[in-house]
Structures are given as C-alpha cells and as structure tokens.
Amino acid sequence: MGYAILSTWKMSFQGVCEASCLLKDHASAGDAAVRCIQCTEDNPAFVSVGYGGLPDENGRVFLDGGFMDGDTLKFGAVGALEGFRSPVAIARSLKDSNFNNFLVGKGAEAYAEAAGFEKRDNLTPESRARYLKDKGKTQNLFSYDGHDTICALALDENGSMCAGVSTSGLYLKKAGRLGDSPVIGSGFYADSAIGAAAATGVGEEIMKGVLSFRAVMYLRSGMTPMQAAETAVRELKEDLANRLGRTSSISLIVLGNDGTFGVGTTIEFPFAYASDTEPPTLYLANAGSDGRTVITRVEDPATVTQD
Ligand code: SD4
C-alpha cells in the first residue's frame, strides 16, 4: 500500500518534505503528521502556529491542538494552552485514555507539565512588537491576515490514517476563546476505513458546518475527496450567505484512504502534498465560479506570497 501526506499552507512545505521521508522509511501516519506540524510549530517565521504565534487581546500566546487516530477513532485535544512547545504532541498523548481527552487552560498546562512536555515561551519579540502596534483593533480581525492553522493528514503504508492540527488561533482573540481547530469533527477528523479531513479559517464559521466530519461522511457516501471537499465548503458557504448574509475565509483539505486528495476553499489557498508516487509539491487552490476548486501546481514557491 502507498503513503501520502497532505497539509495546509505554504508554511507546511518543509514539514511535508520531512514527513514524506519518514513515511518512505515506514514511519506511522501519526509520527509523520506530528513531524510535519512540529516543523512549523518550531519556526518563528510563521506567526500563526507555535513559537512566534500571534497573541490574544492581552498579548499572551495561547495555543490549540488536536490529533485523531483513524484506526481507533481515538482523539486528543488541548485548548488555550500557554507556555509549551508542541500542542499537537500533547494532544496526541491524550488520545489513549478513555476519559479526559480534551483539556483546556490551566488543566491542560498541569497535564503537559506532569507528562514532561517541553516548555517554551512562544511570544517572540517580533510577535510582541506586532501586538503592541495592533492591540485594540479587534474589530478588523481576519484569520487569513498572516494567521493560519497548520493541519496535516497522513496515510501510512499499513493503511493507517490520522489528522493533526496546531494553531495560535485568531490574532487578538478574546482571552479564553477557542476556535474549531481543537474541536473534533470541526477542525479535524480521521477514519482509516474512509479518509480524513481538516479545516483552516474562521473557526466560528467552520464549527457551524462541523466541516471535517461532514467531509468524511461525504467520502463515506461515495464521493471522491475532491467532491467531498468542494461540497462541504460550498454548502457551508451557501448557508452562511443565505442565513447571515456573509461569506468567510474557509479552506478544507481531504485525504482519501487511497491517498488521493481534495480541497475546498473560499479563498486563494496554498497547500502541500506528497505520496509514494509524487514528490513533495506545493499547490494553489482557488474557488471556481461554479463551486468547483481550481488547483494549480506551483513551479516556483517564491511566487506564492502568503505563508
Ligand atoms: C481558529 N481556525 O482559531 C482557526 C484559525 C485559522 O486561518 O485557521 N486561521 O479559528
């Protein structure tokens, strides 16, 4: 059986390269997805995840992470976590108990400390300077204003799948706010018998559509990954337009259990993919006028300006 890794945003490209090497060397889907995400969590150049993440309204960096094992349907998640290196690794470690799989705030931090996870002050001087310039501007909060979640979906050679996510959430968010990212079904979902999905964008809107679970259920009903991703995003976009009179920035990645991928998006959205038959590749997805996604291969990554 082949392997595949699919991840959100240009910032995930290096992680996809490393994850695909691991998968080629017979690593598990879980190890590959976490490696992919940690590459971004550890890089201060990316201001939406981990070290260098942009802070909340009070200038503090709170991180969210989630992980789902598609073989067992076990999941772990952390929300509003301050002072640790890798929320996705902490989330993954929570999946094996039968209770207490989703921890937030002080409880999540006490757990991470007791479990020996690496601590780190994630506020860099650059993020603090940007905060001092922007604080008070919460009215104009846009998730895609340099602020995006890394999601990674992996399939290994044994047919096991997983989903992982990590984010610092919306820039200048209210203290205590959680978006979709750590919420199973909305931010991520994986079932090795079907496929996996994960979302990035405005969490308050993504949760209204329970977007990741919805896409996996479309796969289950026989849609291809591309049809599932396009349909889930198009329906949510139409619901938001019809009921609330607005559209939002939302992107969704879907990986079938055969390693093929699909993407749905309301905006221009870079993503990265690699498999046993394709080297790590950066793609650009755009929303077509008919609700279909237009995907182009990026030959020169320097031409893609957003992370
Ligand atoms: C959130 N979905 O906290 C995340 C943010 C994000 O692109 O993905 N931004 O709502």
pLDDT (tens digit, 9 = 90+) per residue, 169-180? 988 899 999 999
Q: For residue 31, which amino acid is it?
A: D
Q: For the CA atoms of the chain, what is the radius of gyration?
A: 18
Ligand 1 centre to CA of 270 (Å) is 15
What is residue 245's predicted lDDT score, i.e. its pLDDT? 96
Q: Does the beta carbon of 149 lie inside 6 Å of ligand 1?
A: yes
Residues carrying an active site annotation: 149
What are 64-109's pLDDT values in tens digits? 999 999 999 999 999 999 999 999 999 999 999 999 999 999 999 9
Q: Does the beta carbon of 170 lie inside 6 Å of ligand 1?
A: yes
**Which residue puts its alpha carbon closest to atom 3 of ligand 1?**
169
What is residue 229's predicted lDDT score, i.e. its pLDDT? 98
Say whether pTM exceeds 0.85: yes
Q: Does the beta carbon of 66 lie inside 6 Å of ligand 1?
A: no
Q: With contact defined as beta carbons under 8 Å apart, do 75 and 67 qualify?
A: yes
What is residue 85's predicted lDDT score, i.e. its pLDDT? 92
Q: With contact defined as beta carbons under 8 Å apart, do 170 and 177 qualify?
A: yes
pLDDT value at 138 more than 80: no
Q: Does the beta carbon of 179 lie inside 6 Å of ligand 1?
A: yes
What is residue 94's predicted lDDT score, i.e. its pLDDT? 98
Q: Does the beta carbon of 186 lie inside 6 Å of ligand 1?
A: no
What is residue 47's predicted lDDT score, i.e. its pLDDT? 73
Q: Measured between alpha carbons, how far is residue 165 from residues 74, 152, 191, 222, 223 in Å?
A: 15, 6, 16, 26, 24
227-246 in b/e form (b: 16+ CB < 10 A) is bbbbbbbbbbbeebeeeeee
Ligand 1 centre to CA of 182 (Å) is 10
Ligand 1 centre to CA of 204 (Å) is 9
Residue 305, Cβ neighbours under 10 Å: how many? Answer: 8
Q: How far apart are CA 80 and CA 169, in angstroms?
A: 9
Closest CA to 152 of 167, 163, 144, 166: 163
User: What is the CA 119 to chain-centroid distance, rounded?
Assistant: 22
Ligand 1 centre to CA of 171 (Å) is 9
Q: How far apart are CA 152 and CA 255, in angstroms?
A: 10
Helix (H, G, I), strand (E, B) or coil at 157: coil
